[in-house]
Amino acid sequence: MEPVAAGAESALRQARRHRNWTLGQVVRAIDERVPNSGVTESLVSAWERGRRRTSLRYRAALCEIYGQPPEVLFAFQDAGRPSLALVEAEEGLASSAEVVCAVEQLRAAMLKVVITAERTLAAVGSRSRDPAYLEAIERALRERPRLVHWRVLVGQPHRQILKDHLVRLLALRDPADRTHGMQTLHLGMVDDPVREPERFFVASESRAVVMIPSLTTAGALDTGVILLHPVQARGLVEHAKQLYAAAVKIESPAAVQALTILR
C-alpha cells in the first residue's frame, strides 16, 4: 500500500468532502455504528491518505455511511496487495499449489505449516478437532516465544477440544504481554454468518493450507489446497488479521469459558 500521491485525493477523502464533513463528523458517524470504536480523527486522516489500511470492521461502517462499495472507497488502499492476477503472473508459480483429498495428507500438510512457521502463524475456523494439530500449535508457541499467533473463530466452536485448546493457549501466552515489543497471541471470534461466512485455513509467512468442500464425500473434512508460495501465504495471514480486527476478542479465560459448544 502506497501513500496517496501529493495533490491527489483518495476516494475515501473525496466521499467525505462531497458531504462537507469534518474528520470529527466521520468519527461520530462511525461511533454510531460501531460502539466504543476507538477511532480518532488522526486515524481517519491516515486512512484517507493511505498511510493506514482500514480494517473490515470499519470498512463496513464507512461503506454504509457513504453509500459506496468497498472496491470504490478502498481501492487505493488495496493496490499492490496479493491477488489472483499477481499470483498467476509471478514467475515460478505454475506449480505453487497442490490439492490433497485424503485425511492423512491434509493433516500432514497442516502440521507442516505449523512446524515450519517462524514469525507468524494464523489459524481461522471453528471446526478444529485433531489433537495432533492443536498440540503442534501449542508446542510451537511454547518453543518459539516470538512467533505471533492469530486464532480467529468463525462462529462458536464446534467441539470441546477446540475450546480446551484456547484455554491452553491463554495459559501459554498473555495477550496483554509485550515482553517482545508486540502482542504475540490474538484470539477473536466473528459470529455473523451473513457478513462473514464460514472458512477454514492455516497459514504462516511461507506456506498455507485452505480446506475446501470434500471431493470424496459430502460433509467430510478431507480436502484442501496447499499454497506453497510466500505471496499466497502472506495474503492469508493478512486475511486473518483483518478478520481479527473485526472480531469480538476472546482473550481471557472467562471469555473463552463463555463460548458455546455446538456439538
Domains and CATH numbers, the chain: 11-78 (1.10.260), 95-257 (3.30.870.10)
Interval 69-114: pLDDT, tens:
887 888 888 775 554 444 444 444 444 678 888 888 899 999 999 9
Q: Quick one: pLDDT at residue 3? A: 57
Q: Report whether 209 contacts 110 (CB < 8 A).
A: yes
Interval 192-203: pLDDT, tens:
888 889 999 999
Element (H, E) at 80: none
Residue 222 pLDDT greater than 80, yes or no: yes
Note if the pTM is more than 0.85. Answer: no
Q: Which residues have CB under 8 Å from 90's CB, separation 6+?
A: 229, 231
Q: Report whether 207 contacts 112 (CB < 8 A).
A: yes
Q: Quick one: pLDDT at residue 87? A: 44
Interval 226-235: pLDDT, tens:
998 888 899 9
Q: What is the mean pLDDT of the chain?
A: 88
Residue 4 confidence class, pLDDT cut points 50, 70, 90: low
Q: Which residues have CB under 8 Å from 173's CB, separation 6+?
A: 141, 149, 184, 185
